């Protein structure tokens, strides 16, 4: 896969990156619809968030920003700023993926707290919080600067340490699934074993829905660790 990507011309790379991000977009919406349908019961938010034309256009712009970050990552690899491994053992891949999740969990928590500083909030993050409730594309309704900022944080980690390509792919999949789970408007994990085992550790659906209702708490993405440590956790 790596050989295929680095062997592409710039046009092929841009097109590949756009197609890849369209696929991510489709997987996220498909997962949202599947989880939303399979769970009977009450919606978390009182008001339904309509999908507007304006939001749809912005979500496509964000998709293109994500594609641009991917192209930048490949460019940095080609110029020797990013090094990656291939063929690592399952243990190494598991540890690296965990490292990426924990590293990004911290960086995104800090980035998210900064995004809530009034000047940055009104400049960029407010756009995401225009969704008081959530819908199938809320994950992609971000100010373009914010989407690029998240991407650059990931690139920063890749510049610091040579991760295996499989760990990188696995992390991106986890990130997509977790981002989608946080933006479902039904508590899909309520009263499940998964919720009982992980509710004191992981950010589940209700956690991020509460952040959309009350922007002064629950800034985390994957784990509750940083919210608990910095006393911004509001229990669900
Ligand atoms: Zn959100
Ligand atoms: Zn926020």
- Please give the model's pTM, rounded to 2 decimal places: 0.92
Element housing 33 (H / E): helix 10-38
CB 104 within 8 A of CB 154: yes
Q: Mind listing the pLDDT tens digit for each residue in 36-50?
A: 887 666 788 888 889
CB 62 within 8 A of CB 142: yes
CB 209 within 8 A of CB 185: yes
Q: How many A from CA of 178 to the centre of ligand 2?
A: 15
Among the listed residues 236, 71, 82, the one whose alpha carbon sits nearest the alpha carbon of residue 164 = 82
Give me the pLDDT at residue 41, please.
63
Give me the pLDDT at residue 191, please.
85
Q: Mind listing the pLDDT tens digit for each residue in 221-234?
A: 999 999 999 999 99
- pLDDT of 72 over the 70 cut: yes
Q: How many A from CA of 6 to the centre of ligand 1?
A: 33
Ligand minimally distant from the alpha carbon of residue 111: 2
Average pLDDT over residues 152-170: 97
- pLDDT of 236 over the 80 cut: no
Q: How many A from CA of 174 to the centre of ligand 2?
A: 20
Q: How far apart are the first and last CA of the chain?
A: 41
103 CB-near residues (< 8 Å, 6+ apart): 157
Q: How many A from CA of 112 to the centre of ligand 2?
A: 6
Q: How many A from CA of 180 to the centre of ligand 2?
A: 15
Give me the pLDDT at residue 202, please.
95
Q: How many A from CA of 211 to the centre of ligand 2?
A: 7
- pLDDT of 54 over the 80 cut: yes
Q: How many A from CA of 54 to the centre of ligand 1?
A: 17
Instruction: Return the percentage of the chain with pLDDT > 70, whole number.
Output: 98
Q: How many A from CA of 188 to the centre of ligand 1?
A: 16
Least confident of 87-91, 172-176, 186-190: 186-190
């Amino acid at each position: 896969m790596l050989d295929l990507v680095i062997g592409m011309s710039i046009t092929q790379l841009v097109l590949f990156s756009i197609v890849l991000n369209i696929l991510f977009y489709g997987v996220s919406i498909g997962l949202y619809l599947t989880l939303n349908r399979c769970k009977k019961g009450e919606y978390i938010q009182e008001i339904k968030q309509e999908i507007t034309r304006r939001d749809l256009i912005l979500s496509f712009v964000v998709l293109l920003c994500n594609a641009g970050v991917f192209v930048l990552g490949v460019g940095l690899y080609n110029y020797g700023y990013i090094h990656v491994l291939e063929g690592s053992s399952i243990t190494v891949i598991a540890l690296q993926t965990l490292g990426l999740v924990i590293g990004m969990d911290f960086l995104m928590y800090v980035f998210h707290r900064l995004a809530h500083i009034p000047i940055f909030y009104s400049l960029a993050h407010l756009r995401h919080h225009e969704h008081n409730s959530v819908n199938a594309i809320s994950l992609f309704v971000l100010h373009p600067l914010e989407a690029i900022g998240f991407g650059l944080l990931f690139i920063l980690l890749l510049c610091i340490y040579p991760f295996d390509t499989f760990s990188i792919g696995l992390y991106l999949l986890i990130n997509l699934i977790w981002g989608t789970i946080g933006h479902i408007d039904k508590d899909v994990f309520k009263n499940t074993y998964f919720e009982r085992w992980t509710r004191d550790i992981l950010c589940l659906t209700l956690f991020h829905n509460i952040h959309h209702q009350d922007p002064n708490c629950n800034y985390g993405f994957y784990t509750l660790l940083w919210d608990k440590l910095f006393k911004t956790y509001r229990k669900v």
